[in-house]
Amino acid sequence: MKNIIRRIENIDWQDVTEALHQKGYAVIPGLLSDNECEALKSDYDNVDLYRKTVVMARHRFGLGEYKYFNYPLPDLIQTIRTSIYPHLVPVANAWFKVLRIDMDFPLEHTALLQQCHDNGQRKATPLILKYGKGGFNTLHQDLYGDIYFPIQLVLMLNEPEKDFTGGEFVLTQQIPRAQSKIIVLHPKKGDALIFTTNFKPEKGAKGYYRVNMKHGVSEVKEGSRCTLGIIFHDAVS
């Protein structure tokens, strides 16, 4: 795991922080190697790794499938989750402070998980998502319980325009008393996209206000699209 830890430490976290404050998202190119992407996909049918499979059409979430990993998480996922979290805590705490939300996130990820577990949120939330032709994901937020970390990430495991077409990552911003803003992103294989779980603060004439955000995936036109999602808080179920 030394290679992924080194890559994480070499990220320009100041740039990531500024992007999150300004836009609510940041793209980190090439966080995963091609071999790491392929290894994650090759384990998709290993039933021992997962606690739950969701067929999206059954719940009107979209068209595709995703699987939640079980504890203990695979080493690569566990390392990414615990190593990236401390870099995002200052952003999360700054957001909650300016919005006057009474929550202060601990620096260590294990402490956040303990808070989740004390609240009955004990289920792992990292997941792998798979879409075929026609697949899509409706706009949503990944909260899973009363305790949630306001930033998450997704890692692209396929190469756009080679392995699939369409399937863009979509964010919406709902500004109070205004029309929604649509953001369409095209991360490449191995890229990490860090983005807000449900809102970001925006500064107005009378102080900071809350801009709600949702995310989803547009329709896959051809091929297969897989991603790894890492949520930092745990779930009730």
Can you give the pLDDT at residue 94?
98
Q: Give yes or no for a contact between 189 and 223, defined as CB atoms under 8 angstroms apart.
A: no
Its CATH class, for the domain covering 2-230, is: mainly beta
Can you give the pLDDT at residue 1?
82
Can you give the pLDDT at residue 176?
78
Does residue 2 carry a pLDDT above 90? Answer: no
* CA 44 to chain CA mean position, Å: 18
**pTM exceeds 0.75, yes or no:** yes
Q: What is the mean pLDDT of residues 161-165?
A: 98
Domain ranges of the chain: 2-230
**41-53 pLDDT per residue, tens:** 999 999 999 999 9
**193-209 pLDDT per residue, tens:** 999 999 999 999 889 99
Does residue 89 carry a pLDDT above 90? Answer: yes
